[in-house]
Chains A and B, each alone.
Chain A
Amino acid sequence: MKNYFIFILKSAFFDFSRNKGRTFLTSLGILIGVLSVVLLIAFGLGLKKYINDQFESLGSNLLRVLPGKILQNGSFRGGSSGALNNIRFEEKDIVSLERLKSVELVVPVFTRSVTVSVGKGTEAGDLYAANEGVFIALNAKAQYGTTFTKSDVEKRSKIVVLGPKIAEKLFGTEDQALDKNVKVEGQTFKVTGVLESKGGGGFGGPDLDSFVYMPFRTAYVFNTDKKIFAIIVKAKTDISLDQAKEEIKTALLKRYKEDDFSVIDQAELLGAISSIFAIMNTILVAIAAISLIVGGIGIMNIMFVTVTERIKEIGIRRALGARKNDILYQFLIESVILSLLGGLLGVLLAFIIVSFIQKLFPAYIDVNSVALALGVSSLIGIIFGVFPAKKAADLSPIDAIRYE
């Protein structure tokens, strides 16, 4: 039994080393397929981790109250969510939610894009108007100076708190921003604080580090309708999120209809976002998998050539007592090795590429994707090797041994 595998592997590798170029090119097809599949999975995993981290950094026990029905069966509701028909939350909703027993704090949020300038330098930024509770809810602390207070909100103080990225862009270094004036859409505000970095950003996710935070009522100058885009609610820690959610719903149902608003917790939102990315990722991986099939066809092609080149050998082996299945397995093993070789190189290359990408993005390769890649490449070796191997096995011994 030991000799069986040694002799068969030796035959295989003899053939591979005699046809190095051919072997490499054949494996290359699988290499490219495996590489693209593994890379895409690594990106998908990285994206999922990134989103997770972002949400985790936002603090726990948070609920978001949004106008309109956002989620359906755990996914974002497509189609006619009807932004035009949406209700608009008002200040009295905030007040009524603040009265609830299960609620620790309520933060109205209004956002819009603005231009921010210091002297001659101008940057595009996002205004994030909220009350003082936002820093507790988002778990954001001031690195320099202080965050704004309840009285700042009520007195409409002309101040802003900057995220570290925008502070650095505007002032060169973060600490330079403190107590300086910035112009937001041409109006002057004093910087009273710069937040600690929360990390993340890019890829369309919320980048807390780039926001210009402004007391909610101060921002009325940019929000003349006093719109509230969303309400962040932090539930008391000893209260379950579901209980808080029910209380909020009951309170809001006094004014609005069931479908007019949504109360979503982090997990739901995360689940919904993740499911979108998961679908996208699956589609991409499926497209990449087509290249694996092409690679498999390459293997089949070469295995047919190999079988033809080795008819004489097949005949000798049959004369020595090899059964049809012995020949079948021999060529199957060869095509699996050929395919696995490509798979291994593909995984190796994917690891190298991912290690470079990791500096920019938290993509990573897990055990499952390595197992999947190697499993799939073995499977391809078997599927696309079986026809050539069958052809070899079905040769009549007499025709094979006579073949010159």
Chain B
Amino acid sequence: MINLSHIWKEYQLDQELVFTALKDINLTIKDGELCSIIGPSGSGKSTLMHLIGLLDKPSRGTIFIDDKDISRLNDDTISTLRSEFVGFVFQQFNLMNKLTVLENILLPTIYARKKLEYDIDDYAQSLIEQFGLSGKEHSYPNKISGGQQQRVAIARALMMKPRLILADEPTGNLDSKTGQEILSLLSELNKKENMSVVIVTHDPNVASKTKRRITIVDGKIQ
């Protein structure tokens, strides 16, 4: 589904000093795969996630989605692809406090470039029920618990029916019990919907829940 080929990411720190965050990364994630990217902080795992999530562009190398080179597409096309291809789940939840739970879940649809083949209101409602958020539709994110907020974030990530869910430390801000619930929710999605799920974490316990573990140290896949 997504294939990274000889990817380098370099940051020009000043005129002479170049920091290399990713070194010659080769990585393929298949449809329906559940995997984790694990590494200590500063290892380059976040950079890798941003590249997979089409938020950033590599310095060198090519990213293919279904064998199509996307690394040279313009910003608008990338944005559209991002909206349709990937759903993000963040450590900080990153919900909009000014919008209700329901509105947060619907938010990605306002940026949809194509006509969606499903009824967005029905789908949003079904996600709310599926994630046990019934009754909270019209609450604001700061009025619900952390676990509920992360479930709203997952529902939002699913709203556009993406092929890939990218979760960046999804349990980082949750207690261990709630964290477990979120993880099983993600693996359930992977099983039931055959959706690719990539979890980025520094926590070996979290990584152990996934079949495939990609370990990254100093910008290199081990």
Residues of A within 8 A of B (CB): 3-4, 7-8, 10-11, 14-15, 312-313, 316-326, 396-398, 401
Contact = CB atoms under 8 A, between A and B. Distances in A.
Nearest to B84: A321
B75 A324 contact: yes
A326 B50 CA distance: 21
A14 B94 contact: no
Which residue of A8, A313, A322, A324 has the most chain B CB atoms within 10 A of its CB atom? A322
B56 A398 contact: yes
Contacts of B109: 3
Contact of B111 (A15, A323, A396): A323
B162 to A, nearest CB: 10
Contact of A398 (B55, B79, B94): B55
A351 B108 CA distance: 43
A294 B53 CA distance: 43
Given A321-B108, A323-B79, A324-B79, A316 B55 contact: no
Nearest to B156: A320
B111 A322 contact: yes
Given A319-B82, A319-B88, A7 B110 contact: yes
Interface string B175-209: 00000000000000000000000000000000000
Main SS at interface, chain B: helix
Contacts of A313: 96
A309 to B, nearest CB: 13
Interface string B82-111: 111000101000101011000100111111
Interface string B44-60: 00000010010110000
A326 to B, nearest CB: 6
Contact of A319 (B53, B75, B84, B106): B53
A318 B79 CA distance: 7
Contact of B112 (A319, A321, A401): A321
Which residue of B79, B99, B106, B111 has the most chain A CB atoms within 10 A of its CB atom? B79
B142 interface: no
B98 A321 contact: no
Nearest to A319: B88
Contacts of B111: 317, 320-323, 326
A227 to B, nearest CB: 79
B160 interface: yes
Given A398-B55, A401-B55, A320 B98 contact: no
A308 B83 CA distance: 24
A397 B110 CA distance: 18
Given A10-B98, A14-B98, 14 more contacts: A4-B110, A313-B96, A317-B107, A317-B111, A318-B55, A319-B53, A321-B79, A321-B82, A321-B108, A321-B111, A324-B79, A325-B76, A396-B56, A401-B94
Given A326-B111, A398-B50, A320 B88 contact: yes
Which residue of A11, A14, A396, A397 has the most chain B CB atoms within 10 A of its CB atom? A397
A37 B76 CA distance: 41
Interface string B143-169: 000000000000010001000000000
A312 B75 CA distance: 19
Interface residues of B, number: 27
Contacts of A15: 98
B55 A321 contact: no
21 contacts: A3-B109, A7-B103, A7-B106, A7-B107, A7-B110, A10-B103, A14-B98, A316-B96, A318-B55, A318-B82, A319-B53, A319-B55, A319-B88, A320-B83, A320-B156, A322-B83, A323-B76, A325-B76, A397-B55, A398-B50, A401-B94
A325 B111 CA distance: 11
A316 B82 CA distance: 12
Contacts of B82: 318-319, 321
A11 B98 contact: yes
Nearest to B94: A316
Contacts of B84: 321
Contacts of B50: 398
A334 to B, nearest CB: 12
Nearest first, the 10 A-B pairs at minimum CB distance are A321-B83, A14-B98, A321-B111, A323-B79, A4-B110, A320-B108, A398-B56, A322-B111, A316-B94, A397-B55
Contact of B110 (A3, A312, A401): A3
A397 B75 CA distance: 10
Interface string B109-123: 111100000000000
B88 A11 contact: no
A38 to B, nearest CB: 33
A11 B96 contact: yes
Contacts of B108: 320-321
B41 interface: no
Contacts of B98: 10-11, 14-15
Contacts of A325: 76
Contacts of A3: 103, 106, 109-110
B80 interface: yes
A351 B53 CA distance: 55
Interface string B2-39: 00000000000000000000000000000000000000
Contacts of A14: 98
Given A7-B99, A11-B98, A313-B96, A320 B107 contact: yes
Contacts of B56: 396-398
Contacts of A4: 110
A313 B107 CA distance: 12
Contacts of B53: 319
B166 to A, nearest CB: 9
